[in-house]
A = this chain, B = another copy of it.
Amino acid sequence: MQVITSYGVGRVLNSGHPGYKKGDLVWGTTGCEEYSLITEPETLFKIPDTDVPLSYYLGVLGMPGLTAYVGFYDFCAPKKGENVFISSAFGAVGQLVGQLAKLMRCYVVGSAGSKEKVDLLKNKLGFDDAFNYKEEKNLGEALKRYFPEGIDIFFDNVGGKIIDAVLLNMRLHGRIALCGMVSQYPLDDPEGIKNLMCIIYQRLRVEGFVVFDCFHLFPKFWDFMLPYIREGKIACVEDIAEGLDSCPAALEGLFTGRNLGKKVIIVSQE
């Protein structure tokens, strides 16, 4: 039987590994199941701080959190007050990138796929503005409206035609961090991007990164992030479902845009 794996939080019931003992709280790669046999303990991390919800280790304190942290600070090279655009801004990564950008007093606009997400970006997560890309006939024009002076930083989780629209609106020496291309994964034939000329005209830097390269940064990241979470300066919107049965729908929701923030499935409260 093939078990679907995902990131999970759990408690150690038994351990033959000297680094883990019964009762330890851990997060990492687990099966989507009630009890997991972990044969590669190097994929686990111990949870030292339990004064925040444990599910945060799946989102804002986990892989999506580190993705946002590394992507924004290392690859976007942000400067105070710059203009930042984030696609799929209400996703687990986008939420945090926007809030990190606000901590640097940037002007932050996000795109998302529903009115509800747009409202939450503006009213709960502190984005300066947000728009529903599905309601925009011309993404380039929309971006010109939100960024009349252009975009310094584009943090992209989506790929495809949004890149073309952004390229037309980038400022000199802008930076584009390519984090994911969720719009393109389901396509056999990816969309063609036509405005790469802007990379030359505007002297842009485009970089792709993968968070798996950066796991050694988790301790530094937690030291940075935990105080903000404890002080309520960083919010975390989770979309919580109960029971293993909700796994398939949750996975589908990633690609249909139905999940509202970081999708968490509670297998058991204990």
Q: Which residues of A contact B (CB under 8 A)?
A: 159, 163, 178-181, 184, 189-210, 213
Contact = CB atoms under 8 A, between A and B. Distances in A.
Contact of A193 (B179, B196, B203, B207): B196
A153 to B, nearest CB: 15
A165 to B, nearest CB: 14
7 contacts: A163-B196, A180-B200, A181-B200, A199-B206, A201-B208, A202-B208, A204-B207
Contacts of A198: 208
A209 B213 contact: no
Contact of A208 (B163, B190, B199, B213): B199
A203 B196 contact: no
A178 B207 contact: no
B200 A179 contact: yes
A-B residue pairs, 8 tightest by C-beta: A192-B192, A200-B208, A199-B208, A206-B206, A190-B194, A193-B193, A205-B207, A178-B200
Given A192-B194, A194-B191, A195-B190, A200 B206 contact: no
A228 to B, nearest CB: 27
Contact of A207 (B195, B197, B201, B206): B206
A201 to B, nearest CB: 7
Contacts of A201: 208, 210
A162 B144 CA distance: 30
B208 A184 contact: no
Given A205-B206, A208-B203, A190 B197 contact: yes
